[in-house]
Every structure is written in structure tokens, then in C-alpha cells.
Amino acid sequence: MSPFSMITLALSKGRIFEETLPLLAAAGIEVTEDPEKSRKLILSTNRPDVRVVLVRATDVPTYVQHGGADIGVAGKDTLIEHSGSNGDHDGLYQPLDLNIAKCRMSVAVRADFDYATAVKQGSRIRVATKYTTIASEHFANKGVHVDLIKLYGSMELAPLIGVADAIVDLVSTGNTLKANHLVEVEEIMQISSRLVVNQASLKLKREAIRQLIQAFESAIPA
Ligand code: AMP
């Protein structure tokens, strides 16, 4: 098959993969391998001209930007951390909010921490997070000085052992915070996943990509 007729879709395992499957089905695409049962990184579909590559969630924008994939699905959090809050940068086009993998980006603290006093204009707060762009912008808008502590996981631990006053993290059910005696004190933004498209692919494979976008759009959950 000519490389100009193959469409490569970048997805991350887990929630984004699972919640993208119904959208693919609407486009007549069925992934024929189960990523939980195989270690393969390139999955075939029922369509010879469509394949799925599995990458880390934070790498989806990078693969699409560099043309390793024509399209991908990435969380709003990941996209902001990748290219800033203005979005469409560097060969990445974001045509659709897919309304999947929904959650919120929030600030959480220990129950005994006085957040209202800590975020008075001109004050200083220590924040542990993986989402440094979102966190620094949020506190800058409030006029609060922030000492950011970049972590890659288990953020909940940082306030418990005195490394940070607060965390900025994704919250879905709130169970993780509750289990660690943290309370959500502020929602920064609602998060969902978006379709991202490589701008060169959009030109070179216009018709195939237009059809995919249309099919996805028709199947976006309410
Ligand atoms: P929960 O206990 O349901 O509030 O989920 C919180 C944990 O799941 C945190 O560790 C989050 O980083 C992670 N999480 C929740 N929703 C998402 C999502 N849509 N995408 C990625 N991680 C998520």
C-alpha cells in the first residue's frame, strides 16, 4: 500500500483507547487486536488502509506533529502541556472535542490546610504537579507566587509528607483524593479528549481524513 493512502491513528492505552472505539466503529473501523492481551505497538484494523499505533498519552501530540501518525486522540491537559493554551501550534490541528475521557483539573490540599488564606494576592504557595504549564498559569492569574515541584506520578503524596502545600491533578470520581485525605478546593478546568490532525496529512490525505472527522463528529457522546 502506498504511504499516501494509509491512515495512522495514535492512541494511548486505557480510557482514551476504550472510549475511542465507538467513534471508530461509527467510521466503520474495528481494531482487530486487543492491546491488553498483546505487547504489539502497531495494531491492525478491519480496514487495510487504517492502523492504530499505541503510544504514551503525553507522546500522542508529538507523534502527530512529526507525522508519525496522521491523527490522534489526546486530552486537553496533554495538549496544553505540549504546546501551551493557544492550541493549534507546530503542525497540529485540533478540529474536534470528542467529549470522551472526561474529568477535571483541580487543586487539592490537606484538609487542615487553609487554602483561602494561602492564595491571597501576593502570597506564595508550593505546588506539586505533572501539569506545570496549567498550574503556573492558574496561580499567575490569581497573582499568587508559585514554587512548582514537577512530579511524574503519585502527586497525592507530596502534601502528605510536607513537600508541597497543594497539588494540581486530574480528578474523576474523587476517590483517589479521598483515600489520601486530600480535599479538592478549586476546579481549574474541565478536561476532555480532542482529535488532533497533522496539518500536512490534512492536505495530502484530505478526503480520507475528512470522512473520519465527519464520522467521529456524528458519534460524539452527548
Ligand atoms: P479518581 O480517583 O477517579 O478521581 O481519579 C483520579 C486519578 O486518576 C488521578 O491519579 C488522575 O491522574 C487519574 N485520572 C482521572 N481521570 C483521568 C483522565 N481522564 N485521564 C488521565 N488520568 C485520569
Per-residue pLDDT of the chain in tens (222 residues, 90 and over written 9): 666 689 999 999 999 999 999 999 999 999 999 999 989 999 999 999 999 999 999 999 999 999 999 999 999 999 999 987 665 567 899 999 999 999 999 999 999 999 999 999 889 999 999 999 999 999 999 999 999 999 999 999 999 999 999 999 999 999 999 999 999 999 999 999 999 999 999 999 999 999 999 999 999 998
Residue with grid cell 487504517, as numbered in its chain: 50
Using a 6 Å cutoff on CB, does residue 174 contact ligand 1?
yes
Query: Residue 117: what residue type?
Result: T
- For residue 221, report the phi and psi dihedrals to the nearest 5 degrees: -65, 145
Quote the cell numbers at residue 206. Answer: 484530505
The residue whose CB lies within 8 Å of the most ligand 1 atoms, and thus the one to mutate among 172, 191, 192, 193, is 172
Bridge pairing between strands 124-129 and 166-171: parallel
Give the pLDDT score at 10: 98
Return the domain boundaries, the chain. 7-101+192-219, 103-190
User: For atom 19 of ligand 1, which residue has the closest CA?
Assistant: 101
List CB contacts of 99: < 8 A, sequence separation 6 or more.
Answer: 192, 220, 221, 222
Give the pLDDT score at 91: 80
The residue whose CB lies within 8 Å of the most ligand 1 atoms, and thus the one to mutate among 15, 77, 103, is 103
Quote the cell numbers at residue 107. Answer: 487543586
Give the Å distance between the CA of 191 and the centre of ligand 1. 11
Q: List, in sequence order, every beta strand (DSSP E) within the chain.
A: 7-11, 42-44, 50-54, 71-75, 92-110, 124-129, 145-150, 166-171, 182-198
User: How far, in Å, CA of 32 to CA of 129, rounded?
Assistant: 37
Q: How many CB atoms lie within 10 A of CB 175?
A: 9
* Cα 203 to chain centroid, rounded: 25
Tell me if residue 131 falls in helix, strand or coil.
Answer: coil
Using a 6 Å cutoff on CB, does residue 101 contact ligand 1?
yes
Nearest one of 18, 46, 75, 33 to 193, comparing CA atoms = 75
CATH architecture of 7-101+192-219: 3-Layer(aba) Sandwich (3.40)
Instruction: Tell me if the domain spanning 103-190 has CATH number 3.30.360.10.
Output: no
Give the pLDDT score at 121: 86
User: How far, in Å, CA of 165 to CA of 149, rounded?
Assistant: 10
User: For atom 6 of ligand 1, which residue has the closest CA?
Assistant: 171
User: How far, in Å, CA of 207 to CA of 220, rounded?
Assistant: 20
Nearest one of 151, 205, 170 to 9, comparing CA atoms = 205
Using a 6 Å cutoff on CB, does residue 171 contact ligand 1?
yes
pTM given for the model:
0.94
Using a 6 Å cutoff on CB, does residue 175 contact ligand 1?
yes
Q: Are 47 and 183 in contact (CB under 8 A)?
A: no
Q: Are 80 and 86 in contact (CB under 8 A)?
A: no
Fold match, 7-101+192-219 / 103-190:
yes
